[in-house]
Chain A
Amino acid sequence: MSGASSGISPLRRLVRAELAAGIAGLRLFIACVAIAAFMLGAVWMLGAGLSRALSENGTIMLGGDVAVEVVNAPLDADLVVRLADLGTLSEVSELRSTAIAGDARTPVEAKVVDDAYPLVGEIALAQSADGVPTLAEALSEREGLPGTVVEPALLSRLGLSVGDTMTLGGGTFEIRAVLLREPDRLSAGFLVGPRVIVSEAAGRAAGLLSSQGLVDYRYRLRADDGDAQALAAAVAALEPERGWELETPADAGDRVRETVARVTTFLGIAAMVALAIGLTGAWAASRVWIGRRVRTIALYRLSGAEPGLVVALHGVLVAIAAGIGIALGLAGAGVLAFVLMDLLAARLHLPWQPAALASAGALAALTLAIGIAGACASALSGAARTPPGAAMRSADTIPTPRPRDAALGAAAIAAAILLAILGLPDEILAATAAFGLVLAAALLAGAGWLVARAAARVKPRGFVARVALQGLDDPAKAAMRAVAIGIGIAGITAVVGAQRSLDTALRAELPDRIPDLVLLDVQQAGIGPLTARVEADPLLGGLQASPFMRATITAVNGVPAAEALVREDKDWVISGDRSFAWAAEPTGAELLGGAWWPVDYAGPPLVSAEEDVQEAFDLVPGDTLTFSVLGRSFTAEVANIRMEYHRTFRPEFLLVASPVPFRDAPHSWIVTLEGETDAAVDALVADLARDAPGVTAIDVRRIVDDLTRVVEGAGLASLAIAGLLLVVGALALTAIVAADVDSRERQALAFTLVGASRREIAAARLAEAGTIGALAALVGGGAGLAGSFWLASAGLRVDFAPGIVALVLPLALGLAAALAAGIVGGLGAAPRGRGQLVRRLAG
């Protein structure tokens, strides 16, 4: 053979002939690749889609280039004028209120917007009989009635439709359109009810912006000259003494971003594990395939094929199979990622570009292609080294690869892992995870090597023990099998352990369903009648009323709060307005230090700081805190430190002050109560709708049920990830077991001829496979648990709580691997059935 033309033509002919015969022998290989591609692709596409949607839409989420927020009282009018001088200004106020229609009422998240809203992004309203109105049209006054747009949930809760009217605050509104998407939704916090948008004039007329309610006032600015940074600096310079929370697009949706980063990291590490297991499976499956073709390859060689042609032929066939696997996996991943992205983007009220998925999919394909090339290198190198003489012998083991090819393969796998690391949002976490996987592989290889060395030293007399040990005494083979089985166990255990920890943490964050009802904006005059109403109903009780105000901590011992901070992770205590109350008597929370003030204390303000505040500033009783309430600044001595549990819907206040002078400030109350039956709670809510329309009733029962559904959904999703990993693991295991089947069958035949029974052969194989399985379970499981501890604490930042599943799983997987290998290599390998043995003997 000489020249390129004569080299290409035979290759084409051979490839065509092989394809015509089919590549069914590569089914296992395709399955391993497809499922790894599915996991890697789905995770990367989803992660990339979400990250890009969040990073590209910071301005939209914030509602402008710069935003400032104050609570309770709006900014002074002259400050608003000065802000308006800096750029285009939009004022938006948000508050919780109650929408009422007839006897039905539901808490809502009201948003009062000016004509400039939205400064950026678009409001999406649903098509109605009159077409799609603009926001301004929908909110305008028609025949004496102002308009409103509402989320679909409101319509279903109140049994209304577009065109009906409802009461909000002290006004009546006509529902003009259904709100589908609100560009700045992520700038709002936790929403307890459906969104209702009204115009500023109508909201003011309905009394929604009264000084006693809890209102978030947001002022968004757009830089007219496009210089957002200069605008932010100019706005920051105007900060009033009462303080405000200033945000730029980089800060917008930070909680969502953090959640997305956390989830993407978890999923990404799961995908990396899937990649590692999938490549292990592809490695084993390619060796099985080449192993079964050794005679065919030798015949090609006998017929004059050069090693290069053999490699090219098998490389092309493997590439075609890999292409099919990658295409199948990524197609499934693409569909899943598209559906999930659409769902999540709608939930987050964000626009997104499907193109973001394509680039992530392409990167996943490239990573897989490189990794698979590396995984198949040893089998292909072995194919190249198959001597023509192998056709004459009953050889079906692949010759060992050339060291150079093995090194190239390892380098390709390393490159694929590097790409996988770079594909994750937190490269350091990803690199640590990859390092952990490599370390686990090294530990497994070392343990396998040690077991082989030990097995070689022992010479037991019995057949079963001798054959079992003989199967273990090759150090390289034992190390490889320990890695092949154990790396899957390690990865799956790590992910399952982390998943259980995350699930436990999410469930722990679920609030207790106590109280059943939270009433906001209860006025001073309403407390008495409400208490009487609750006392009159034996099915209601547990009433607690607290003043509800907001405060911003501005200084500690005279040092500006930001400088006084000693714990970065507690910076949220100085970020904007925080919950504040006054109380004469102890609130019932545990005191960690200091003492409560006397009931009749009327001196200078004292303050009780929650534990988070204490930790943020390393406070001790006697220190002073300066904070602003309702636009006024106060400095108070810290009387004590309180501990709250953050797990209930009871009001928990960061700061609680002595009554004077706050008792006389305008404020509303927050009331919590419990009901023995849902009917009793429902009846109270109906009475309040009639007697106290200004009170917002938050039905904790519904919120807890909603949260439980979310947590259970997250739990199910992460369980599905772990389940998929198990499937990849099972496929890889099948490939690993299959890799040995032929030689096991030959050995079983020889044992049968010399008088070994099926039971003895099976017992020997089980003992051998059980040793490797136990080794993989112990070392891989141990490494996996260590990995899940790291993943939970460093990656997901939750307490490590792997649960019994993560402890039992490695043993179960090791046992499953041992049983599979034992049964296939033992019972299954011994000839059975009429004619089987003679056929094999002849072979």
Chain B
Amino acid sequence: MHAPETSFPPSPAKPSDVVVSLVDLRLSYPSPEGEIAVLRGVDLAVRAGEIVAVTGPSGSGKSSLIAVVGGLETPTGGSVRVLGTALESADERTRTALRRRDIGIVFQAYHLVPAMTALENVALPLVLAGEEGGEAAAQAMLREVGLGHRMSHRPSSLSGGEQQRVAVARAFVAGPRLVLADEPTGNLDRRTGEHVAQVMFSLTRASGAALVLVTHDEALARACDRIVAIDEGRIVEERVVRDPVAAGARG
């Protein structure tokens, strides 16, 4: 048995807006043997303030789903609306602007810039947005994830958990309305993984953003508001763990 579900804070939001809307989403990749279908008609809606776990075996299409929702891949069929923007027809510029303004992304492999310090990595989205006082906000965010003492360290001198907390801080620093996390605890031991997840959940709840979390970790999935199971590119099961609106009302 993993960590108890109640260890994660409930959502304070009163979500009504649909942040992500997928209708018959299809994606295939070219290969020497022909097109490989990765997503075969996914329908899904994620509301603001909602934390949705996406689970499924390796190769089921979870990471590709994150890539499409994050505007990193263009679907080959169906529609993807993220915060009102139809990504299937959006150009690179629009998708980049959306990612910069409204989406934070965390990956299993951290994907930090090795040459930059933790503070510089976290400040990057604010620099891109051209925001004033980016450094102060990045410092505050690093303190929030418990890395106030590691700001000037480069990724190579941080532990895996610390690197992932930097990645989380970077994903949340610009106040995104949607955070996508692909196996954020996959490289971490259970305790560190729980800590990182807790940080993510609390930041999500505090900001009212929606969080789509790909995970193999059953306990982590059960801590989310809803669990969506994917297999062979299709949603095979959808289960509501709690209603964030009701939870918020109770809270």
Binding site for B on A (CB under 8 A): 394, 397, 461-463, 466, 470-471, 474, 743, 746-747, 749-758, 760, 831, 834-835, 837-838, 841-843
Contact assessment for B111 and A758 in the assembled complex, using a CB-CB cutoff below 8 Å: no
Contact assessment for B113 and A751 in the assembled complex, using a CB-CB cutoff below 8 Å: yes
Contact assessment for B73 and A757 in the assembled complex, using a CB-CB cutoff below 8 Å: no
* A755, closest chain B residue (CB): B100
0 or 1 for each of B58-82: is its CB under 8 Å from A? (1 = yes): 0000011001001011101000000
List chain B residues, Cβ under 8 A from A755: 96-97, 99-101, 103, 125, 128-129
**Interchain residue pairs A-B with the least CB separation, the first 4:** A755-B100, A835-B29, A755-B99, A757-B96
Contact assessment for A838 and B127 in the assembled complex, using a CB-CB cutoff below 8 Å: no
Contact assessment for B93 and A757 in the assembled complex, using a CB-CB cutoff below 8 Å: yes
Assembly CA distance A475 to B29 (angstroms): 42
Given contacts A471-B115, A756-B96, A834-B74, contact A461 B127 (CB under 8 A): yes
* A760, closest chain B residue (CB): B128
List chain B residues, Cβ under 8 A from A461: 127, 130, 134
B112 at the interface (CB under 8 A from A): yes
Contact assessment for B30 and A834 in the assembled complex, using a CB-CB cutoff below 8 Å: yes
- Residue B72 contacts which of A397, A752, A756 (CB distance < 8 angstroms)? A752
Extra inter-chain contacts (17) besides given A462-B127, A753-B70, A755-B97, CB under 8 Å = A461-B127, A461-B134, A463-B128, A746-B111, A753-B72, A754-B100, A754-B124, A755-B99, A755-B101, A756-B128, A835-B29, A835-B73, A838-B72, A838-B73, A841-B67, A841-B72, A843-B109
Contact assessment for A757 and B115 in the assembled complex, using a CB-CB cutoff below 8 Å: no
Given contacts A834-B73, A834-B74, A837-B73, contact A753 B107 (CB under 8 A): yes
Contact assessment for B114 and A758 in the assembled complex, using a CB-CB cutoff below 8 Å: no
List chain A residues, Cβ under 8 A from B113: 470, 746-747, 750-751
Assembly CA distance A461 to B28 (angstroms): 39
Assembly CA distance A837 to B100 (angstroms): 17
List chain B residues, Cβ under 8 A from A463: 124, 127-128
Assembly CA distance A760 to B76 (angstroms): 26
List chain B residues, Cβ under 8 A from A397: 114
Q: What are 28 inter-chain pairs, A to B, with CB distance below 8 A?
A: A397-B114, A461-B130, A470-B113, A470-B120, A474-B115, A743-B114, A746-B113, A746-B114, A750-B111, A753-B70, A753-B105, A753-B111, A754-B105, A754-B125, A755-B96, A755-B97, A755-B125, A756-B100, A757-B92, A831-B72, A834-B28, A834-B73, A834-B74, A835-B30, A838-B72, A841-B107, A841-B109, A841-B182
List chain A residues, Cβ under 8 A from B109: 394, 841-843
List chain A residues, Cβ under 8 A from B93: 757
Contact assessment for B67 and A837 in the assembled complex, using a CB-CB cutoff below 8 Å: yes
Contact assessment for B111 and A749 in the assembled complex, using a CB-CB cutoff below 8 Å: yes
* B102, closest chain A residue (CB): A755
Contact assessment for B112 and A750 in the assembled complex, using a CB-CB cutoff below 8 Å: yes
0 or 1 for each of B182-216: is its CB under 8 Å from A? (1 = yes): 10000000000000000000000000000000000
Assembly CA distance A471 to B120 (angstroms): 13
Task: For residue A452, give the distance in angstroms from its CB to the closest CB of chain B.
Answer: 12
Given contacts A753-B105, A755-B99, A841-B182, contact A462 B130 (CB under 8 A): yes
- Residue B63 contacts which of A743, A746, A834, A841 (CB distance < 8 angstroms)? A841
Assembly CA distance A751 to B170 (angstroms): 11
Assembly CA distance A471 to B170 (angstroms): 20
Assembly CA distance A806 to B184 (angstroms): 55
* B132, closest chain A residue (CB): A461
Among A747, A753, A837, A843, the most chain B Cβ lie within 10 Å of the Cβ of A753
Assembly CA distance A747 to B129 (angstroms): 18
Q: Is the interface of A mostly helix, strand, loop or mixed?
A: helix
Contact assessment for A758 and B92 in the assembled complex, using a CB-CB cutoff below 8 Å: yes
Given contacts A747-B113, A757-B96, contact A838 B67 (CB under 8 A): yes
B18 at the interface (CB under 8 A from A): no
- Residue A838 contacts which of B63, B97, B121 (CB distance < 8 angstroms)? B63
Task: For residue A758, give the distance in angstroms from its CB to the closest CB of chain B.
Answer: 7
Among A743, A758, A835, A837, the most chain B Cβ lie within 10 Å of the Cβ of A835
List chain B residues, Cβ under 8 A from A466: 127
B116 at the interface (CB under 8 A from A): yes
List chain B residues, Cβ under 8 A from A747: 113-115
Assembly CA distance A404 to B127 (angstroms): 42
Assembly CA distance A553 to B29 (angstroms): 91
- Residue B116 contacts which of A470, A753, A757, A834 (CB distance < 8 angstroms)? A470
List chain B residues, Cβ under 8 A from A835: 29-30, 73
Assembly CA distance A466 to B128 (angstroms): 10
Contact assessment for B170 and A754 in the assembled complex, using a CB-CB cutoff below 8 Å: yes
0 or 1 for each of B82-104: is its CB under 8 Å from A? (1 = yes): 00000000001100110111010
Assembly CA distance A747 to B120 (angstroms): 13
Contact assessment for B29 and A834 in the assembled complex, using a CB-CB cutoff below 8 Å: yes
Assembly CA distance A758 to B130 (angstroms): 17
Task: For residue B156, give the distance in angstroms from its CB to the closest CB of chain A.
Answer: 8
Task: For residue A489, give the distance in angstroms from its CB to the closest CB of chain B.
Answer: 25
Assembly CA distance A754 to B121 (angstroms): 10
Among A746, A747, A751, A754, the most chain B Cβ lie within 10 Å of the Cβ of A754
Task: For residue B66, give the distance in angstroms from its CB to the closest CB of chain A.
Answer: 9
Task: For residue A480, give the distance in angstroms from its CB to the closest CB of chain B.
Answer: 15
Assembly CA distance A743 to B112 (angstroms): 11
Assembly CA distance A8 to B157 (angstroms): 37
List chain B residues, Cβ under 8 A from A753: 70, 72, 99, 105, 107, 111
List chain B residues, Cβ under 8 A from A838: 29, 63-64, 67, 72-73
List chain A residues, Cβ under 8 A from B128: 463, 754-756, 760
Task: For residue A293, give the distance in angstroms from its CB to the closest CB of chain B.
Answer: 18
List chain B residues, Cβ under 8 A from A837: 67, 72-73
Assembly CA distance A792 to B79 (angstroms): 70
Assembly CA distance A463 to B134 (angstroms): 12
Assembly CA distance A692 to B248 (angstroms): 124
List chain B residues, Cβ under 8 A from A462: 127, 130
List chain A residues, Cβ under 8 A from B121: 750
List chain A residues, Cβ under 8 A from B76: 834
* A466, closest chain B residue (CB): B127
Assembly CA distance A463 to B64 (angstroms): 28
Task: For residue B137, give the distance in angstroms from its CB to the closest CB of chain A.
Answer: 13
List chain B residues, Cβ under 8 A from A471: 115
Assembly CA distance A842 to B107 (angstroms): 9
List chain A residues, Cβ under 8 A from B112: 750
Assembly CA distance A842 to B72 (angstroms): 13
List chain A residues, Cβ under 8 A from B115: 470-471, 474, 743, 747
0 or 1 for each of B119-147: is its CB under 8 Å from A? (1 = yes): 01100110111100010000000000000
List chain A residues, Cβ under 8 A from B111: 746, 749-750, 753, 841
* B74, closest chain A residue (CB): A834
Contact residues of B between 30 and 78, Cβ < 8 Å to A: 30, 63-64, 67, 70, 72-74, 76
List chain B residues, Cβ under 8 A from A752: 72
Assembly CA distance A292 to B25 (angstroms): 37
Task: For residue A469, give the distance in angstroms from its CB to the closest CB of chain B.
Answer: 11
* B112, closest chain A residue (CB): A750
Assembly CA distance A356 to B163 (angstroms): 63
Assembly CA distance A755 to B182 (angstroms): 17
Assembly CA distance A592 to B208 (angstroms): 97
Assembly CA distance A753 to B168 (angstroms): 12
Assembly CA distance A470 to B117 (angstroms): 10
Task: For residue B222, give the distance in angstroms from its CB to the closest CB of chain A.
Answer: 25
List chain A residues, Cβ under 8 A from B114: 397, 743, 746-747
List chain A residues, Cβ under 8 A from B63: 838, 841-842
List chain B residues, Cβ under 8 A from A831: 72
Among A760, A837, A843, the most chain B Cβ lie within 10 Å of the Cβ of A837
* A837, closest chain B residue (CB): B72
List chain A residues, Cβ under 8 A from B30: 834-835
List chain B residues, Cβ under 8 A from A394: 109
List chain B residues, Cβ under 8 A from A746: 111, 113-114
Task: For residue B65, give the distance in angstroms from its CB to the closest CB of chain A.
Answer: 10
Task: For residue B75, give the distance in angstroms from its CB to the closest CB of chain A.
Answer: 10
List chain B residues, Cβ under 8 A from A756: 96, 100, 128
